[in-house]
Amino acid sequence: MEKKPLLRNFITVVSGLPRSGTSMMMQILKAGGMEVVTDEVRRADEDNPRGYFELEQVKKLKESSAWLADCRGKAVKVISMLLFDLPSNHHYKIIFMQRPTEEMLASQRIMLERRGETKDGISDEHMAEKFEKHLKQVEHWIAQQKNMEVLYVPYNEVIKNPLLYSEKVNGFLGQDFNTKTMAEAVEETFYRQRKE
């Protein structure tokens, strides 16, 4: 019988662009029984009713990363732009969320409007190009890292078939998490900015 890899041997990283479903994936992992690392500084709101599952220290990874040692066996959310700052002395299993660019931009726009903020004048078309270029760079970079494994997860497909993707995530992490409770953490009504 094949032995399950020990969670403490690697850090689970949930990543992706803003509004790509990273908070949902953190909810899924937590529901399955995994410990998630968050300081809850950023509170739940109308845009993320169940919380953002963020950690302020992640923003300063380049300056200080010693705290990552305590994340072995746990899940931490690291936005895609900051993946490059992860130190090479840990093994990472990255669950990378994917979502159509127009949906992410629409979601971001509504979130900013709700907060009374405005975009910095960059058009959606230009931002979409920047996102696509960035995603290609990240994918190429991850493929070259010996201490990283990655599972690309399409947000829309998780909404359609949460149990299937809960099983895929469970298999990727090599664990026996409760895939039923993982799937039940997916709330379809939160999927609002749909690509037609």
Return the DSSP state at 94: E
d(CA 69, CA 13): 13
Strand, helix or coil for residue 136:
helix
How many Cα atoms are found within 13 Å in the side-chain-facing hemisphere of 196? Answer: 1
Tell which residue, 167, 170, 163, has the closest CA to residue 184: 163
Name the least confident of 22-31, 43-52, 164-173. 43-52
Model pLDDT, residue 125: 84
Domain ranges within the chain, ordered by starting residue: 8-187
- Using a cut of 0.95, tell me whether the model's pTM lies above it: no
pLDDT band at 26 (very low <50, low <70, confident <90, very high): very high
Looking at the DSSP assignment, which residues form a beta bridge with residue 98? 154
d(CA 113, CA 16): 22
* Fold topology of 8-187: Rossmann fold (3.40.50)
